[in-house]
């Protein structure tokens, strides 16, 4: 049965999505409709297909050996719903509009400023003054500007783990995506820093459609408006907020799956 939430206009419709690596099924016939209702958090045990599903939304699975797939992934981008696997949209433009932040911060081995300005120059062709303005804008958006404004020429590796992750978010946001994909963005961070990232995501949901893979039930209950629970490459449940505000209900579902 297709999983669906319909209070708002859908932004993602997946039909019979199957993903294989070296002939092994990782996603098995997913049917899913997601509506634009805040943050979607994907939960599931290790190997359930969470990250593969996330990478299906910007075709990043194609970067890995042994990949093959079938089915349709329709995203609403620039006001138009289209199958991202069979559209004329170039991959670079798809991945600009559907940006991704990974579990481990992947800062570039250069300065804090260049981590944002280099991708801007390569992808958008903006002039120097526009790049500088965008840099300030996104560093403020992720609440990093006050911490780094006097050290923009420092190597990004000198930042703390939480600061590096916020810099990675700023780098993606500088390209003005419509959808933000997050693959366990706090997994490598301490509890206090994780809370800062969570609070930031709650703010960012006002401007971006966010889909986040998480390993934390506590985190999911804090930030999610919808929770998608996966098991063995399939979607077991898609829950609205009122269904998982009662921790006993969600815990029971997770115990069934894990």
What is the per-residue pLDDT across 78-100, written as a single tens digit (0 to 9) for each?
999 999 999 889 999 999 999 99
Residues 1-28, mean pLDDT to the nearest whole number: 81
Model pLDDT, residue 9 = 86
29-48: average pLDDT: 92
At 6, the pLDDT band (50, 70, 90 cuts) reads very low
Domain boundaries, the chain: 3-257
> Please, which pLDDT band fits residue 258 given cuts at 50, 70 and 90?
low
For 149-206, what is each residue's pLDDT tens digit? 999 999 999 999 999 999 999 999 999 999 999 999 999 899 999 999 999 999 999 9
Q: Which CATH architecture has domain 3-257?
A: 3-Layer(aba) Sandwich (3.40)
Which pLDDT value is given to residue 29?
Answer: 94
Report pLDDT for 148. 98
Q: By the 8 A CB rule, do 101 and 172 touch?
A: yes
67-77/10-21 β-pairing: antiparallel
Contact status, residue 238 vs residue 207, Cβ threshold 8 Å: no
Please choose, from the candidates 92, 100, 93, the residue with its C-alpha nearest in 3D space to the C-alpha of residue 78. Answer: 93
Quick one: pLDDT at residue 4?
A: 39
- pLDDT tens for 106-162 read 999 999 999 999 999 999 989 999 999 999 999 999 999 999 999 999 999 999 999
User: What whole-number percentage of the chain has pLDDT above 70?
Assistant: 97
Put simply, whether the predicted model's pTM sits higher than 0.85 gets the answer yes
pLDDT for the residue numbered 255: 78
Locate 33 and state its tokens.
């409709």
Q: What is the pLDDT of residue 2?
A: 41
Place of tokens 């997994």: 187
Asked whether the predicted pLDDT for residue 27 surpasses 80, the reply is yes
Q: What number of residues does the chain have?
A: 258
With a cut of 70, say whether residue 5 has pLDDT above it: no
CB 189 within 8 A of CB 197: yes
For residues 41 and 125, the model is more confident at 41
Which pLDDT band, with edges at 50, 70 and 90, does 246 fall under? confident
Structure tokens at 243: 């269904």
Q: What are the backbone angles phi and psi of residue 10, rounded to the nearest 5°?
A: -65, 145
In order of 22, 45, 75, 222, 255, the CA distances from 233 in angstroms are: 15, 10, 20, 25, 17
User: Do 77 and 209 form a contact (C-beta atoms < 8 A)?
Assistant: no
Any alpha helices (H) in 69-226, and if so which ranges? 91-97, 112-124, 128-141, 145-148, 161-173, 191-204, 217-223
């Amino acid at each position: 049965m297709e999983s669906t939430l319909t209070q708002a206009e859908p932004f993602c419709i997946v039909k019979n999505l199957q993903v294989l690596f070296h002939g092994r099924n990782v996603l098995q016939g997913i049917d899913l409709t997601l509506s634009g209702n805040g943050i979607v958090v994907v939960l599931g045990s290790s190997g359930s297909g969470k990250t593969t599903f996330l990478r299906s939304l910007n075709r990043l699975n194609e970067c890995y050996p042994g990949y093959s797939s079938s089915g349709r992934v329709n995203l609403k981008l620039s006001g138009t719903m289209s199958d991202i696997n069979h559209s004329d949209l170039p991959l670079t433009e798809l991945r600009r509009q559907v940006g991704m932040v990974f579990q481990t911060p992947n800062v570039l081995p250069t300065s804090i400023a260049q981590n944002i300005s280099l991708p801007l120059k390569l992808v958008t062709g903006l002039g120097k003054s526009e790049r500088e303005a965008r840099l300030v804008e996104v560093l403020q958006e992720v609440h990093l500007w006050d911490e780094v404004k006097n050290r923009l020429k420092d190597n990004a590796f000198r930042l703390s783990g939480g600061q590096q992750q916020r810099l990675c978010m700023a780098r993606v946001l500088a390209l003005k995506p419509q959808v933000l994909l997050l693959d366990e963005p706090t997994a490598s961070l301490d509890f206090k820093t994780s809370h800062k990232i969570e609070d930031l995501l709650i703010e960012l949901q006002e401007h971006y459609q966010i889909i986040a893979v998480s390993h934390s039930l506590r985190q999911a209950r804090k930030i999610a408006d919808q929770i998608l629970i996966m098991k063995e490459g399939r979607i077991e449940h898609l829950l609205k907020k009122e269904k998982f505000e009662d921790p006993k209900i969600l815990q029971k579902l997770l115990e069934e799956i894990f």
